[in-house]
Amino acid sequence: MIKKLCNTLMVYVAMVIVTFSLLVTQANPTFLQSNLLSKKLFAYSLLNNFSNVIIGVLLILIGYQIKGNINLIKKYIYVYIVNLLAFIGLFLWTRSFNISNLYDAVLPITRNTYPIVVGTISALLIKEKIKNWIKKYTLLMILGGYIVVFTLPSIFNKDIFGLGNGNNIITAFLLTTLGIAFSNIELGKLQANRKVIILMSIGVILNIILAFTMPYISFVVHNNFSTAYRFNVLTSISVIVMAIVIFIVGQKLKINIKVPEYTSLLALLVYSNNYIVEKIINGDVSLRFLFFKSCIVAIVVVTLGWFILKVDKKNFSLNRILLLDGSVNVDIWIKKLKIHMVNNMKKNKFNIMNIIIMYILSYLSFILMSPDFSAPHLEREYTNIFFYTFFARQHMLILNTILFYLLYRFIYGIIGRFWISIILNYVVIAVAVVADAIKIHYRTEPILPTEITMVSAYGDMLSMVPQFILWIAATVIIILICIIIYCERRLPQNKIK
């Protein structure tokens, strides 16, 4: 019991340090804005550095301890749900958000919302394959590869391998894989190797020196703090070495910190999701208040991690839906999932066809907003609206499709008949899109919500429409009615109450 409490306390303290560092960085208080050396500046540099070291240690521990099985898919889904709830909760608290934040919450993979979580889970999903591959090489060869990958960008200050500041999938994958490599060897041999001990000791000393002196060096050389935190990133070789040393020393001293799976993933979520950090600050830059908020966030993360673990143990419906079984590997699960998906696609072919048509309507709704198939806001690499919409606005297409689907489900819930619902949904969408396109053509603006009230004056509006268009509309309605009758009789679908 005492061990568990100590373990929880250590995890909590580490979470407070990381969160406090993130909040201070985002708040950008006065001492960070001024070009003056101060005790607070040096203290922040050490805090920021050690915060990244903690994340490095956490990623290594995750790779070292957490089992690599297919149930990690379920863990990702829980993280996704927590992120959505966090978005809703922070919006209700701060009463502000923009459409980009909504896209980030709903479409995290396409928007790269929390890449470290994705990179970590990706590495764990193929843990057994990685372990088998690592067996072909000695530990010194593996560490040598990591040293090259992280040292070159650190020395030359050029992002050679696309690692950025470490908040990306590649860095998380690499550090989690390093933990997997450590789980495949006897750490006692590494601890007994004098060369390794000397190199690691130098790395730790260098990291502390760089963290403490870089603000002064930057001020002397550049007369500002543009390079003050150059080595205070997760991809700095000094940070990586210190994380490795802390991990190995912890194993040597048999501290045996057990990484709570969900708490760890939620900590990575907070670390990599800028929206959460930004909204937690909510305009307050007082260091004391930021520290208080850090303590609250740490309590919430630890409590949520414990709660989700309890839910995970009792809830088996998600396992059945996703065919999750911890005893099978990824390859077998993919084969089972393929068969399951093919069977479901055959069973729900009309529903899938419906979603595809709604996606096409979503795509056309963007295209028709540009009468000459170009727009002044197009980026240079896109020559027309077709490519721009598909490649640069894919997240908006998906969100529009979701909205169209919700409209269809609303109509289906009222009418209860599949074919009537989907065709009526298409008609509503088509009318809205065409009306928008016509108004944009003549007035260069879409239909506004306030103008929808004009529908009540349908008599006056119809009198302005040419007679032949009304005949065409009547013909189309008759054809649609015939299609609905045919489909309801020949291709009947389940009715809903």
The two three-digit tokens of residue 375, written as one number? 């727009």
Model-level pTM? 0.75
65 contact partners, CB below 8 Å, separation of at least 6: 179, 183, 258, 259
Contact at 8 Å (CB) between 266 and 224?
A: no
Q: What is the pLDDT of residue 466?
A: 67
DSSP 386-428: HHIIIIISHHHHHHHHHHHHHHHHHHHHHH--HHHHHHHHHHH
Cα–Cα distance for residue pair 110/401, rounded to 1 Å: 15
Q: What is the pLDDT of residue 162?
A: 78
Picking from 170, 181, 175, the residue whose alpha carbon sits closest to that of residue 130 is: 181
Q: What is the pLDDT of residue 303?
A: 92
Query: What Cα–Cα distance (Å) separates residue 353 from each residue in 298, 423, 458?
Result: 45, 12, 33
Token pair 């703090």 in the structure block, residue: 225
Q: What is the pLDDT of residue 203?
A: 76
DSSP annotation of 372 reads T
Cα–Cα distance for residue pair 201/206, rounded to 1 Å: 8
Q: What is the pLDDT of residue 62?
A: 94
Cα–Cα distance for residue pair 438/420, rounded to 1 Å: 27
Q: What is the pLDDT of residue 185?
A: 75
Cα–Cα distance for residue pair 84/78, rounded to 1 Å: 10
DSSP annotation of 224 reads S
Stretches in the chain below the pLDDT threshold 70: 1-4, 186-197, 253-256, 284, 325-329, 371-383, 449-466, 469
Q: What is the pLDDT of residue 420?
A: 87
